Structure 1
Amino acid sequence: MSSPRDHRVLVPIDVLEGESVPSTVVDALASVPVVLLGYREVPDQTAPEQARDQYGDRVRTELETLRSVFETAGCDVTSRVAFTHDRLKTFERVTVDESCDAVLLVNPAPVLESVLVAIRSDVNVDHIARLVSTVLEGTDLEVTLLHVASDESRRDAGTELLETAATALVDEGVDSSRVDRRLVVDGSPTDAILEAADDHDLLVVGESRPSIHRYVFRDRAERLAKRTVDPVLVIRGEYLEPAAKGGDGETTAAEVTVTDVVETVEKSDENDGAS
């Protein structure tokens, strides 16, 4: 097993719209420090500061209730509140500010027994394995590793990739009997992942480009979250550094300018301050 490392997951919740986190997902994240982001997206004509003055107390109250649920499960929780014109950019900024490994896109999960991990390439396989093993810790969850090969000529490479990922999970302490492998040949990876997700309760995907904003929220992961009934855990690429430029010249999360108001919320709600 590799040396331990800290993980952290961002969980953005629009609490005023009644969004919450299923208790099954809370239990699964009990071993992982969580950053709860209670947010409110406001129209362009409304200043975030105005929205904070109008809705701030309600958001903090709802977020504190949700925070107590995580704490009861034994989770290490940090709370932040945001009022923003662009929720996705705010998610991105907070993810980098808080050094989060992953973002949970919440969907209902009345039962949580199995996890589907979609592996696209060998990029960040070890990083994905470390976080997935942490989520599995203390649970009876089974995990299926899925790779979608674009055609038959890539089947052998896909099989090798799945074996690499399975070995990485076992090296992290996951019993091999809990790990299954599934290879699908399909020209439409998104459709193949969605079909496989029907048989599982939590979908885990890893980003493959150095831009959370373009990949995680504008690309496949968000489409998957919208089209599946499962929660989707999106694991960041480990190479995404706050001050770095993407390989294609795109600006990373820390350099994105967004109009918002983000507060770190203390448990007592007595020491709120703008971040």
Structure 2
Amino acid sequence: MAAPRAHRVLVPIDVLGGEAVPQTVIDAFASVPVVLLGYHVLPEQTPSDQARDRYEARARAELDELHDAFEDAGCLDVSSRLVFTHDRLKTFERVAVEASCDAILLLNPAPVLERVLVAVRGDVNLEYIARLLGALLTDTDLEVTFFHVVPDEDERERGTELLDAAVSELVDAGVDRGRIDTSLVVDGSPTREILEAAADHDMLVVGESRPSIRRFIFRDRAKTLAKGTVDPVLVIRGEYLEADDAEAVDDTA
């Protein structure tokens, strides 16, 4: 049986749009390999070569500063890419596949990062999510709450079993049981309940449920979650996503 590879997180940053990575996030993600994706979205009529000539030096300087900040925080495996693109969604998807990233971190301000909410779905790979969370939480004091919504009382027992399984997987991944909590909601709207629970936490973690990063993050429920929370959102990819699922875009600087 092959040993599992190190987990890797993609962090897209609008380097010329004033987007920053809070120090709390840098510290929290210093224990896992990180790929910093500095990007700048171009108007449809602007050629990529023209944009590189005009913006590359400034964008690269901003990205290099972030790269240094992750290294200063103790991240031993941090790499960076700079892209000028007409379609950021395709770019995120392509780079995540090319760089073998397990998750994508959608940035939001995070002045405090102490409590993590993990929205558990019945069809996610709990072991896979727990391994990544275990690697992320290694050198932190972050507390985790597994959260699940069931449609009615008939499903309460199944939901409780699902949450218990999630806790067991995370404990097996090396996280102390005292740092893990669970929350079950019966007969509620999953999106609304997740957003309400996220308001009491500092980061939201969701699992990918379709074989396309772009479909999951930027459409349907996850788009609402990403826009509806003021916290960072970590989207954990499904293991089944292969490189040939992504659409190639020639936008790498």
* TM-score tier (shorter): over 0.9
Which of 261, 265, 268 matches 2:251?
A: 261
Partner of 2:42: 42
Superposed displacement of residue 217, structure 1:
2.1
The 1-side partners of 2:115 and 2:242 are apart by 31
The aligned amino acid for 1:205 is: V
The 2-side partners of 1:241 and 1:92 are apart by 11
Partner of 2:31: 31
The 2-side partners of 1:262 and 1:189 are apart by 37
Q: Please list every run of 5 or more consecutive structure 1 residues that lacks an aligned counterpart in the other structure.
A: 244-251, 264-275
Partner of 2:184: 183
The 2-side partners of 1:144 and 1:128 are apart by 13
CA gap of 1:187–1:70, structure 2 versus 1, over 3 A, is same
Partner of 1:167: 168
Superposed displacement of residue 148, structure 1:
1.1
Partner of 2:66: 66
Instruction: State whether structure 2 residue 6 is matched by structure 1 residue 16.
Output: no
Partner of 1:196: 197
Superposed displacement of residue 122, structure 1:
4.3
The aligned amino acid for 2:161 is: E
The 1-side partners of 2:18 and 2:252 are apart by 20
Equivalent position SS for 1:16? coil
The 1-side partners of 2:120 and 2:126 are apart by 8
Contact 1:186/1:192 (CA < 8 Å) preserved in 2? no
Instruction: State whether structure 2 residue 219 is matched by structure 1 residue 229.
Output: no
The aligned amino acid for 1:36 is: L
How many residues align? The count is 250
Equivalent position SS for 2:169? helix
Contact 1:24/1:112 (CA < 8 Å) preserved in 2? yes
Q: Which moved more, 1:178-187 or 1:213-222?
A: 213-222
Write out per-residue CA displacement over residues 213-264 of structure 1, whole angstroms, 9 at most, x where no aligned residue.
1112223223212111100000000111223xxxxxxxx22xx143x4214x
Equivalent position SS for 1:17? coil
Partner of 1:248: none
Superposed displacement of residue 153, structure 1:
2.1
Superposed displacement of residue 4, structure 1:
5.5
The 2-side partners of 1:4 and 1:86 are apart by 32
Equivalent position SS for 1:222? helix
Equivalent position SS for 2:25? helix
Partner of 1:269: none
Write out per-residue CA displacement over residues 129-148 of structure 1, whole angstroms, 9 at most, x where no aligned residue.
00111111111111000011
Quote the RMSD (CA, aligned, Å). Answer: 1.3
Contact 2:123/2:209 (CA < 8 Å) preserved in 1? no
Write out per-residue CA displacement over residues 174-215 of structure 1, whole angstroms, 9 at most, x where no aligned residue.
111111010012442111100000111011000111111111
The 2-side partners of 1:78 and 1:215 are apart by 25
Write out per-residue CA displacement over residues 43-96 of structure 1, whole angstroms, 9 at most, x where no aligned residue.
111112211111111110000011111010011210100111100110000000
The 2-side partners of 1:148 and 1:14 are apart by 34
The 1-side partners of 2:83 and 2:38 are apart by 6
- TM-score, normalization by structure 1: 0.88
Write out per-residue CA displacement over residues 111-135 of structure 1, whole angstroms, 9 at most, x where no aligned residue.
0111100111243111100011111
The 2-side partners of 1:257 and 1:138 are apart by 36
